[in-house]
Amino acid sequence: MKAHVYVTLKKTVLDPQGQAIHNALKKMQYQGIEDVRQGKYFELRLDDTLDAASARAEVDRIAREVLTNPVIEEYTFELE
Amino acid sequence: MKFGVLVFPGSNCDHDTYHVIAELAHQPVTFLWHDSPSLENCDAILVPGGFAYGDYLRTGAIARFSPVMQSVKKFAADGGLVLGICNGFQILCEAGLLPGALMRNAGLKYICKQVWLRTETADSPFTNLLTPGETLKVPIGHMEGNYFCDESTLATLRRDERIAFRYATPEGEITREANPNGSLDNIAGILNEGRNVLGMMPHPDRSSEALLGSADGFRIFQSLTGALAARS
């Protein structure tokens, strides 16, 4: 099983990197982009000791306690 | 009176900080390796600048789980004096010893230059020799020094006068131009609720001798040694 964890800055936090990317895209004349937010992606490969529910709980705990700083970041994840 | 300087893989201001305590403040000081929980009966803990654990994941994110930091948390909870400089400030925020977070500089560049700080409070063991409004010339050297916290935290910091230093002009004016990295409210350093933990992005360790361009930072270490002497 694999977990895909996505970490982004909270909506309320300014994202200067996302803005710089957005400005670059505009300068390069890419069309139709309203906003860019950038973040981090983690791929966790899980062994078979956990069932799906336990794996979900463990990945949630890892994402919350380690992969994100709750002051500025939020996360989503999916299991595959 | 004994000082402990934490050393993580990637710390690079540990020797600068040690030098200030040993050679300028003339106090006993020892290095404390991250992998050992022992604080060796130190009376104050200095968390130096650098790139602990390579800044991997986030600055300070991995350092906060190290054995020595578990002891530093207990030490701080018992009222022990802890000073975090630059990466040390980032680690203290990640560890929850100070509120808020240090984000990528607003201009997205690493900044290394002299800045001016305005002292906001003299009511702490780190600033008791300073006068509110007094300016200090202290250098910064960081990529992630953009202080951020939510509105209620900022209101609390202001109300309790826990903002220790703000980026200012040499005359002590708080302006947008004097803010090098986009920090909220020009914040350069803050105190915890008990006022026994200070975190600051600028480097007093690099401004403790006139030879380095400024000795203003040494007054913070003098305040600290004075406070420790008064405690013993």
pLDDT in the model for residue B231: 87
Q: Residue A75's beta-bridge partner residues?
A: A7
CATH number at residue B74: 3.40.50.880
- Give the Å distances, CA to CA, from B226 to B73, B100, B155: 23, 29, 30
pLDDT in the model for residue A65: 96
Cα(A70)–Cα(B121) distance, integer angstroms? 28
pLDDT in the model for residue B222: 98
Q: Counting Cβ atoms within 10 Å, is residue B78 exposed (0-12), middle (13-18) or buried (19+)?
A: exposed
Tokens of A79: 């299991």
Cα(B173)–Cα(B184) distance, integer angstroms? 16
The total domain count for chain B is 1
Please determine, for residue B86, whether its predicted confidence score (pLDDT) is greater than 80. yes
pLDDT tens-digit map of B126-146: 999 999 999 999 999 999 999
Full domain range(s) for residue A55 = 2-79
Please determine, for residue B173, whether its predicted confidence score (pLDDT) is greater than 90. yes
pLDDT in the model for residue B43: 97
Average pLDDT, rounded, for chain B: 97
Catalytic hit among B86, B93, B142, B149: B86
Q: What angle do CA B131, B202, B160 make, to 5 degrees?
A: 50
pLDDT in the model for residue A8: 95
Task: Measure B100 CA to nearest chain A CA, in Å.
Answer: 6
The total domain count for chain A is 1
Beta-carbon separation of B61 and A69 below 8 A: yes
Please determine, for residue B93, whether its predicted confidence score (pLDDT) is greater than 90. yes
Q: Are strands B187-191 and B197-200 parallel, antiparallel or unpaired?
A: antiparallel
Q: What backbone torsions phi and psi does residue B129 show, to the nearest 5 degrees?
A: -90, 0
The alpha carbon of B207 is separated from its chain's Cα centroid by a whole number of angstroms, namely: 13
Write out the H or E segment, with its range, that includes residue B122: none
Full domain range(s) for residue B23 = 3-231
pLDDT tens-digit map of A42-79: 999 999 899 999 999 999 999 999 999 999 999 999 99
Q: What backbone torsions phi and psi does residue B198 show, to the nearest 5 degrees?
A: -120, 130
Give the nearest chain B residue to A41 (CA atoms). B57
Q: Which residues are CB-contacts of A31 (< 8 A; sequence separation ≥ 6)?
A: none
Q: Is B171 helix (H, G, I), strand (E, B) or coil?
A: coil
pLDDT tens-digit map of B47-63: 999 999 999 999 999 99
ipTM: 0.88
pLDDT in the model for residue B3: 98
Please determine, for residue A33, whether its predicted confidence score (pLDDT) is greater than 90. yes
Please determine, for residue B80, whether its predicted confidence score (pLDDT) is greater than 80. yes
Task: Please state whether the predicted TM-score (pTM) of the whole model is above 0.90.
Answer: yes
B34 is catalytic: no
pLDDT category of residue B115 using cuts at 50, 70 and 90: very high
CATH number at residue A36: 3.30.1280.10
Q: Are strands B101-103 and B29-33 parallel, antiparallel or unpaired?
A: unpaired
Tokens of B170: 């040499």
Give the nearest chain B residue to A15 (CA atoms). B106
pLDDT in the model for residue A24: 96
